Structure 1
Amino acid sequence: MSGDPWGRVDETGTVYVRTADGEQVVGSWQAGSPDEALAYFERKYEGLKVEIGLLEKRVKTTDLSAKDAQAAIDHLREQVVAHHAVGDLAALGVRLDKLVELVETRREERKAQRAKQSDEARRAKEDLVTEAEELAASDQWRSAGERLRALVDIWKGLPRLDRKSDDELWHRFSHARSAFSKRRKQHFAQLDAQREDARKTKERLVTEAEALSGSTDWGTTAARYRELMADWKAAGRAQREHEDDLWNRFRGAQDVFFAARGSVFAERDAEQSENLKLKEELAEEAEKLLPVTDLKASRAAFRTLNERWEAIGHVPRDARPKIEGRMQAVERALQEAEETEWRRSNPEARARAAGLTGQLQSAVDKLRGQIDTARGQGNTARAEKLERELEGRQALLDQALKGLHEFGG
């Protein structure tokens, strides 16, 4: 007889396990000692413990289905209930009961997860439908078309919903794509028609441009080429296979004309550059007349220089303001000298200036006398008031004296 707390072997070789309901027969052992019998059935108990432990781990750490987990639990429970092992069978039963609870919890969690994933898939597909319906109205044909194709790939990667919901959303999604495709097809059909019109228009423009390429009416023809270029831009693009050829012909005709005009203008520019050098020499001579010391001689000299100036001809357009401004500056200086001389020799103006100066001098002398009187009487306030008035009259007098000096007075 062994002292194992969970089992014993009687004299007949029958092995028993102790349970809450009393001893239960485990089996019979005739081949060896009682200790060997207990050890054998204890190993079977340990084997059940290991199997239950492995099942617990699988339930906790893998995606073992609830159905398969429950089948495994039932299989192990049958072995525990059959009492074919020696050990704490009740403890194994408790572990199996907890494992059933865990499997049920995992089942509910997976159910909730599937519901959540379904909701997320629904929202994702609804978002795809909304975006597709917005893109259906877009005129960004390339980017919108590429995005719609990308949305199809995203849709294929999402889980299916219930048939009714999935079919309804797919119908809206497909309708949006079809509407976009229809609009795009109409747009490009219209664009092809417009490009054909543009081709015909540009062929007419090329014909006229080529006819004008030999013209020597430089101004009128250049203006017409500008008009033709504006018409060309307004016509829009022709088909790709025609556009480059038409443009090369159009541009080539213009190049012939403008090359000929450029050659003529180059000769003219050379002449005008030479004219500019001559006018710069005259401007230097004119500037030497300043400052004016002999008005009559300076005016006569400037008149001669101006006659030579007018005989020279045009200078380059961009140089014209500067060179003409130099001559105009000399002419203004001569005019100012004439005006100054006139004022100096004008007796009426000189008399008015002298009269004004005399009046101001009398007023200043009078104020000075009044100031002396006020101070002699101790009237400081009146004296200060009269002094301020004196300052103003004195300033006017100084200015009048300066003007009189200009008249030689």
Structure 2
Amino acid sequence: MSSDPWGRVDEAGTVYVRTADGSERVVGSWQAGSPDEALAYFKRKYDGLVVEIGLLERRVQTTDLSAKDATTAIEHLREQITDAHAVGDLDSLAKRLDKLVESVEARREERKVQKAKQADEAKHAKEALVAEAEELAQSEQWRAAGERLRALVDTWKGLPRLDRKSDDELWHRFSHARSAFSKRRKAHFAALDAQREEARKAKERLVSEAEALSDSKDWGPTAARYRELMAEWKAVGRAQREHEDDLWNRFRGAQDVFFKARSEIFAERDAEQAENLKLKEALADEAEQLLPITDLKAARAAFRAINERWEAIGHVPRDARPKVEGRMHAVERAMQDSEEAEWRRTNPEARARAEGLTGQLQAAVDKLKGQIETARSQGNNSRADKLQKELDGRQALLEQALKGLHEFGG
């Protein structure tokens, strides 16, 4: 008979394993060799179980093995240990499995908490996407908002699903916001296309009229009509891109034909206009000598005489016109300012209003001073201080009113 701390072989070749409570269990029989060889064989069976448990422990610790699969593997090994045909400390293996169960359960709870956290984060993320999508649905930044909505869809796809009810509700809001934006954008561009088609038709009519006028010799009215046509062109808005440039080139080309012909006719007038410019510059010099205005009546009469001569001179070169006319306009504005100042100074109604306001404020100030003096004499300093603040305000208004009255010479 041969024995081991965890098992033995009796004379009949029956192999036993010792359990933790000191009892024995038959694990097999051995007839082919010595008892030591029998124990060695069944100890190798035990070692195989040790290896399997060690492998499972490492998988639980180092891989993403699911709790369900780990539990199944543990139960399978537990069955093998319970009925194991092996010699060794089977109870220690069972305890290792018990610890492994605890580890798996801890990981299960950890993953449960992590999954709940991830679900909560995903819900908040999707709610944020929905809120942004609903805000973008009202945008009129069609390109930027459209690109952003497409980016939000990609972000949504990258987030984990929630519970079915929550996910469906959020997706419905998200999808509705996108649909609302698409509908508004489609309506906008449909209306824009219609407007551009109307603009094309209107510009076709303007081009036809411009081309018909291009050989006109009625310089003044035709030039005026071209200016009107240009104003109408600008008011119409843009046509479709493929038509706009061609229409503009035709429209501008027709004007160029007319204005080129007119310029050739007007070229002979350039010398006369240059002489007119010298005369008007001399009149502008003369008008500027009236400034500053000290005698409004005399200045007004002198300016009127200068302006009559100005009007009789005729045209000057177009590029010089703004500057020389601007000088005359500046003198004219100074004249108008002086007239307005004189009117304000002599306006009896305004003076009467100013005097009335000044009188009312002066009466109020005098009354407040009397009330303050009374309050002080009665020892009511609180009321006196309050009245003093009101007096300060009224006196400031009175000073302002007196200043205004002074402008009337009062």
TM-score per shorter chain, which class? 0.5 to 0.7
Matching residue of 1:7: 7
After superposition, residues 202-241 of structure 1 pair within 5 angstroms as 202-216=203-217, 221-222=222-223, 224-241=225-242
**1:265 Cα shift?**
6.4
Does the alignment pair 1:142 with 2:143? yes
Question: Aligned AA for 2:73?
Answer: A
CA distance in 2, matches of 1:79, 1:238: 85
Contact 1:14 1:29 in 2 (8 A): yes
CA distance in 1, matches of 2:147, 2:318: 57
Q: Aligned pair in 2 of structure 1 residues 162, 50: CA closer, same or farther (>3 Å)?
A: same
Matching residue of 1:173: 174
CA distance in 2, matches of 1:209, 1:146: 43
Q: Structure 1 residues 224-233 or 30-39, which shifts more?
A: 224-233
CA distance in 1, matches of 2:26, 2:139: 83
| CA deviations over 1:133-154 (Å, ceiling 9, x no partner) | 1111111222323332333343
Matching residue of 1:325: none
Matching residue of 1:185: 186
| CA deviations over 1:220-252 (Å, ceiling 9, x no partner) | 655543443332122111234433332222122
Matching residue of 2:301: none
CA distance in 2, matches of 1:159, 1:165: 12
CA distance in 2, matches of 1:173, 1:124: 12
SS at match of 2:17: strand
Q: Aligned pair in 2 of structure 1 residues 204, 90: CA closer, same or farther (>3 Å)?
A: same
Contact 1:199 1:239 in 2 (8 A): yes
Does the alignment pair 1:31 with 2:32? yes
Contact 1:7 1:18 in 2 (8 A): yes
Matching residue of 2:20: 20
**1:213 Cα shift?**
1.7
Does the alignment pair 1:125 with 2:126? yes
SS at match of 1:158: coil
| CA deviations over 1:255-300 (Å, ceiling 9, x no partner) | 222433455567777x79x99xxxxxxxxxxxxxxxxxxxxxxxxx
| CA deviations over 1:27-56 (Å, ceiling 9, x no partner) | 211110111111101111110011111111
Q: Aligned pair in 2 of structure 1 residues 231, 316: CA closer, same or farther (>3 Å)?
A: closer
CA distance in 2, matches of 1:186, 1:205: 28
SS at match of 1:225: helix
| CA deviations over 1:291-348 (Å, ceiling 9, x no partner) | xxxxxxxxxxxxxxxxxxxxxxx99967xx9xxxxxxxxxxxxxxxxxxxxxxxxxxx
CA distance in 2, matches of 1:76, 1:83: 10
SS at match of 2:127: helix
SS at match of 1:209: helix
Q: Aligned pair in 2 of structure 1 residues 316, 242: CA closer, same or farther (>3 Å)?
A: closer
Question: Aligned AA for 1:160?
Answer: R
Greater C-alpha radius of gyration: 1
CA distance in 2, matches of 1:223, 1:24: 122
Question: Aligned AA for 2:146?
Answer: G
Matching residue of 2:95: 94
Q: Aligned pair in 2 of structure 1 residues 212, 315: CA closer, same or farther (>3 Å)?
A: closer
Tell me the TM-score normalized by structure 2. 0.61
Tell me the TM-score normalized by structure 1. 0.61
Q: Structure 1 residues 212-221 or 38-47, which shifts more?
A: 212-221
Q: Aligned pair in 2 of structure 1 residues 84, 315: CA closer, same or farther (>3 Å)?
A: closer
CA distance in 1, matches of 2:197, 2:94: 88
CA distance in 2, matches of 1:251, 1:155: 52
Q: How many residues align?
A: 287
Question: Aligned AA for 1:7?
Answer: G
CA distance in 2, matches of 1:203, 1:268: 35
Q: Aligned pair in 2 of structure 1 residues 99, 315: CA closer, same or farther (>3 Å)?
A: closer
CA distance in 2, matches of 1:187, 1:119: 38
Contact 2:3 2:9 in 1 (8 A): no
Contact 2:2 2:10 in 1 (8 A): no
SS at match of 2:18: strand
Contact 1:17 1:83 in 2 (8 A): no
Contact 1:128 1:155 in 2 (8 A): yes
Contact 2:15 2:26 in 1 (8 A): yes
CA distance in 2, matches of 1:117, 1:317: 74
Question: Aligned AA for 2:201?
Answer: K
Question: Aligned AA for 2:212?
Answer: A
Does the alignment pair 1:200 with 2:214? no
Identity %: 80
CA distance in 2, matches of 1:30, 1:24: 18
CA distance in 1, matches of 2:319, 2:142: 50
CA distance in 2, matches of 1:13, 1:179: 86
CA distance in 2, matches of 1:51, 1:36: 23
CA distance in 1, matches of 2:9, 2:267: 131
SS at match of 1:8: strand
CA distance in 1, matches of 2:134, 2:317: 67
Q: Can you give the 5+ residue segments of structure 2 that lack an aligned partner in the other structure?
A: 276-315, 324-410
